[in-house]
Amino acid sequence: MRPSPGWVVTALGLTQILAWGSSYYLPAVLVTPIAADTGWSLTWVVAGLSLGLLTAGLASPLVGRQIHRHGGRPVLIASAVLIAAGQVALALSPSLPVFIAGWIVIGFGMSAGLYDAAFSTLGRLYGPAARHHITTLTLFGGLASTACWPLSAFLVSHLGWRGTCASYAAIHLVVTLPLYLLALPRGPLPSWEGAPVAAAPRPAHVRRIDPVFLVLAAAIMIGSMISTVISVHLLAVLQAKGVALAAAVGLGALVGPSQVGARFVEMLVSRFHHPIWTKVTSVSAVAIGLGLLWVGIPIIPLALVFYGAGIGLESIARATLPLALFGAADYAPIMGRLARPSLIAQAASPSIGAFLIERFGTEATLGVVGGVAAFNVGLTLLLVAMTRSARTSPSMR
């Protein structure tokens, strides 16, 4: 008997919170204690995450193919083990090279265990019906920093940074791993196999030179770069606007609820529109938010609400739009191929943002990022035109 979709999505949602919180969001709390305790350069401590993201990007096509062939269960199980092993390496690291090696191991775990792998698993299990489940899953993911930043801060204050890493390793082995074992069905056969499925809008096997795929990959990559640059440097941007640090932290907290709120609205209305309009709304909201942020006080709160809503919808669009455009048959490999440039761009984005701020200043950097966001709106509208001209789906008319 297969587990119910509600149980599968809930289990994946809980594991997503833990996976994101112990990897992508971990350095925000740990970098300063690590640098202070070890004497390692802050730049190199932060570089651990960048190398982890780079590793995740390089491994993502392989992960997609494995999910396609064997289902998501073994891949996600491996992710829990890999993240736990990487955390143990961090906790025990006697030197910077071992610390970096631990992040590389975590990078493999991120590739096998974060959004793209979870989305691919849902697509493999539920086919065209996965859209609603994917949207629900992102509601959980939006709580990762809200839940794990305080948890990490509590652990650091009581156990130190090494004890925090060891605790996360234990959590993955005693919570995340059993959830994957219990919630995910065995075997690669999708639950929707044999059910009547509407014809895929485009051939299920997408060539690497497919123009729609390339434009979509570029739009997703640009969105990932923007969100990573702003996430890493948001407090610096707000302080450059004359906002005190405490107030900047409070304003930055608007982004998380805005993400979750936008995802909840999308969950309610998604059945009424094609996912490409989610993508259009996402990139437009990000561009508007960055434009308002560039203008500055007194509309910074509104700017952050627009920006947060945009990146919240982006997580949904990057998962549901490939499913709608290319069909469910090869969804996992396609997601793996889309994830590679996005994750590699995320790995480079913090350094790019830091270089721009140091070289040209915060205002000019914000203007550049806003211009890139506007370009992404144009790129997404081009995608709309391309898919419409191909008459891919009656629901897009």
- 249 and 361 together in one domain: yes
Average pLDDT for residues 5-29, to the nearest whole number?
90
CA distance 135 to 129: 11
| Secondary structure (3-state) at 4 | coil
Q: What is the DSSP letter of 200?
A: P
In a domain, 198, yes or no: no
Domain that holds residue 381: 211-396
Mean pLDDT rounded to a whole number for the chain:
86
Q: Residue 121: what pLDDT?
A: 92
Do residues 309 and 117 make contact, with C-beta atoms less than 8 angstroms apart?
Answer: no
Domain of 305, CATH number, reads 1.20.1250.20
- 221 and 166 together in one domain: no
CA distance 306 to 303: 5
As a dihedral over the C-alpha atoms of residue 342, residue 343, residue 348, residue 349, rounded to 10 degrees, the angle is 60
- 285 and 360 together in one domain: yes
Q: Is the pLDDT of residue 392 over 80?
A: no
Q: Is the pLDDT of residue 390 over 80?
A: no
**pLDDT, tens digit (0-9, with 9 covering 90-100), for 48-86:** 888 998 999 999 999 989 998 888 999 999 999 999 999
- What percentage of the chain has pLDDT greater than the value 90? 44
In a domain, 206, yes or no: no
Give the tokens for residue 10: 């809930």
Residue for token pair 């770069």: 225
Q: Residue 206: what pLDDT?
A: 53
Q: Is the pLDDT of residue 391 over 50?
A: no
In a domain, 318, yes or no: yes
In a domain, 91, yes or no: yes
Q: Model confidence at 185, in pLDDT bands (50, 70, 90)? A: confident
Do residues 68 and 59 make contact, with C-beta atoms less than 8 angstroms apart?
Answer: no
Helix axes 42-70, 96-113, angle to 10 degrees: 30
Average pLDDT for residues 12-34, to the nearest whole number?
90
Q: Is the pLDDT of residue 208 over 80?
A: no
Q: Residue 384: what pLDDT?
A: 92
CA distance 161 to 111: 24
Q: Is the pLDDT of residue 377 over 90?
A: yes
Alpha helices in the chain (DSSP H): 5-21, 27-38, 42-70, 72-92, 96-113, 115-126, 130-141, 144-171, 177-183, 211-240, 245-252, 255-269, 275-295, 300-326, 331-360, 362-389
- 271 and 390 together in one domain: yes
- 366 and 277 together in one domain: yes
CA distance 176 to 161: 21
Q: Residue 204: what pLDDT?
A: 43
**pLDDT, tens digit (0-9, with 9 covering 90-100), for 289-327:** 999 998 876 788 999 999 999 999 998 999 899 988 888
- 104 and 67 together in one domain: yes
Q: Is the pLDDT of residue 12 over 90?
A: yes
Q: Residue 207: what pLDDT?
A: 54
CA distance 52 to 100: 9
- 357 and 217 together in one domain: yes
Q: Residue 196: what pLDDT?
A: 41
**Beta-carbon contacts of residue 73 (< 8 Å; ≥ 6 apart):** 121, 180, 184, 185, 186
Cα distance from N-terminal residue to C-terminal residue, the chain: 40
- 275 and 136 together in one domain: no
In a domain, 41, yes or no: yes
Average pLDDT for residues 36-40, to the nearest whole number?
92
- 57 and 123 together in one domain: yes
Q: Model confidence at 197, in pLDDT bands (50, 70, 90)? A: very low
Nearest CA to 91 among 156, 163, 38, 39? 163
- 178 and 220 together in one domain: no
- Work out how many domains the chain is built from and give that number: 2
